Structure 1
């Protein structure tokens, strides 16, 4: 008895295997490494908005104020210090809009 081969099924299996291999090859390809000018990037960053170091100091101050206010609330002091800087900022914005 001879074995009957299914030609179409064999072709389909080979085509699927080839597609799978091609997809894997395409996904594993790495793009070429380009030379990056670090100094130019730093200069561009400085032009756009400066460093974030100044911004982090403000956030640290705000965090300290919030922490102090939370401690005061725990002690029973109802006046929250964190509201005072917010009012000052609102006044500054009102003055700017009036000008």
Structure 2
């Protein structure tokens, strides 16, 4: 998939204006950017989501994909966490950074 196609998929994801995690999982899978090894990208252990997200402004594309995967996995362990982070603007900020980097 080209960067232009990835950018279009991510933009359509934002246009849905929803925090439903299944849309984000599907999108990351379709663009082949679901980072199952997301913990390899993190600097804290155990992972401290808030500390990790402070790195967003300087993150490269792969780190942003790892951040998004991290938030999706966080929701698995803490049901509803992804929706809360979406409402707080954290999910959108990651996707916007990914689009910017493409």
TM-score by length of 1: 0.24
- Higher-Rg structure is 1
TM-score by length of 2: 0.24
Structure of higher RCO (CA pairs closer than 8 Å, 6+ residues apart): 2
